[in-house]
A and B are shown apart, each in its own frame.
Chain A
Amino acid sequence: MRFRLVVFFFLIFFSSCHKGFSQSKIDVIKFEDLQKIMNQPNDTTLIVHFWATWCKPCVEELPIFEKISQEYLQKKVKVLFISMDFPKDVATKVPSFLKSTNINSNVLLLDEPDYNSWIDVIDKDWSGTIPATLILNTNMRKRKFYEGPVKAMSFLEDLKTMLPSSVEN
């Protein structure tokens, strides 16, 4: 009995060490796949966030989107973390980065190296610099695009105007 108790406390102790479980397997997608997700008629507001582990301003900004992803989960907001890392890093560099920075959201790696063929499809004003972020609500026909790091306060204000009408702000 006493042994069981010790084991139990051990388990509790170790599980409290983990803040969450970061993703170890990252799916590689093509632009076509991303477009399918983006074009789906949906009540949920999508935040499509382009970033990479090699991009310093992206890495600095990522915790903001991780926080939004957790806090707006109940408000029908889904953050898509689209990594622009090279596919060769999909099983190594990217998951170890997510683990070390406690990013628990789902990350997809976009393998579409002919950037010129799809940058304009995301937004005509996008020069290609990351981080870049798109807020999208297909049902409300609303979209807003940001190149470079967002200003957290005004981004959240914008997001609030794009929440599904069924959600109370």
Chain B
Amino acid sequence: MKNFKVNIIKSVVVFSVISLCSFIRISDNKGYAIGDTVSDFRLKSVEGKMVSMSENRASKGYIIIFTCNHCPFSRAYEGRIIALDKKYANQGYPVLAINPNDPSAYEEDSFENMKAVAKSKGYSFNYMQDENQDVARAFGATRTPSAYIVKREGDRFTMQYIGAIDDNSQDANGVTKHYIEDALNNLLSGKPVVTNFTKTVGCAIKWKGV
């Protein structure tokens, strides 16, 4: 009888550990939440150099945007991303643009074509390829464009905003809520971000081997 009880307790413990593990895995898939520490990354930019968050000591943080060449939503935002970098890079929040797509699924998203787009549009910011798609996974990005703001706090970076760039992907003139700008203005005036999470539609990231 005692053995039976011990067995039950054992199974309960094993079961709880298993369910806890699967729970942790599920939350991992969702990526960073607001306030989380964001791991640094090193990705190759269209200029051929490796770029990380920590190396630019002057920055107060970054606007990190997962974007690409082929997606109509990303294309609709090209000009607005350039404008964000122009406005906020010299205030300490430059743009880091990351293309997470498997280029074998979309030829337009190849590294060569990224270089071509960056050149023709005159990108003032780093446009990088997430070749292993590890960065997009860590962020929990599922579509392009997906925007994030991270803030430097000593030696680490923390997540401050996750979501859309603004509330009108189709028409820059029709924007009424400037989510990224509002969040940055909050941060630059030393306040917490008021709207720190929004949802949007975009092109699903094409994962390798799926």
A residues adjacent to B (C-beta < 8 A)? 54-57, 84, 86-88, 113-117, 119-120, 126-130, 148
Contact = CB atoms under 8 A, between A and B. Distances in A.
B177 A119 contact: no
Question: A56, A126, A148: which has the most chain B beta carbons within 10 Å?
Answer: A56
28 contacts: A55-B203, A56-B105, A56-B106, A56-B204, A56-B206, A57-B204, A84-B201, A86-B72, A86-B76, A88-B170, A113-B167, A113-B168, A114-B176, A114-B177, A115-B164, A115-B167, A116-B164, A116-B198, A116-B200, A119-B199, A119-B200, A120-B199, A126-B199, A127-B142, A127-B143, A127-B199, A128-B143, A148-B204
Contact of A128 (B176, B199, B206): B199
Interface string B143-181: 100000000000000000001100111110010110100
Nearest to A116: B198
A113 B76 CA distance: 12
Contacts of B142: 127, 129
Sorted nearest first, the 5 A-B pairs with minimum C-beta distance are A114-B167, A116-B198, A119-B199, A128-B199, A113-B168
A54 B204 CA distance: 10
Interface of B: 71-72, 76, 105-106, 142-143, 163-164, 167-171, 174, 176-177, 179, 198-204, 206
A121 to B, nearest CB: 11
A129 B169 contact: no
A155 B180 CA distance: 38
Given A55-B204, A129-B142, A115 B105 contact: no
Given A57-B204, A86-B72, A129-B142, A115 B199 contact: yes
Contacts of B105: 56
Given A115-B200, A117-B167, 19 more contacts: A54-B203, A55-B203, A55-B204, A56-B204, A57-B204, A86-B72, A86-B76, A87-B170, A88-B170, A113-B169, A113-B170, A114-B167, A114-B177, A115-B199, A116-B179, A116-B198, A127-B143, A128-B199, A128-B202
A32 B46 CA distance: 44
Nearest to B76: A86
Question: B143, B164, B201: which has the most chain A beta carbons within 10 Å?
Answer: B201
A113 B206 CA distance: 23
Contacts of B201: 84, 115, 119, 128-130
Given A114-B177, A116-B163, A130-B204, A54 B72 contact: yes
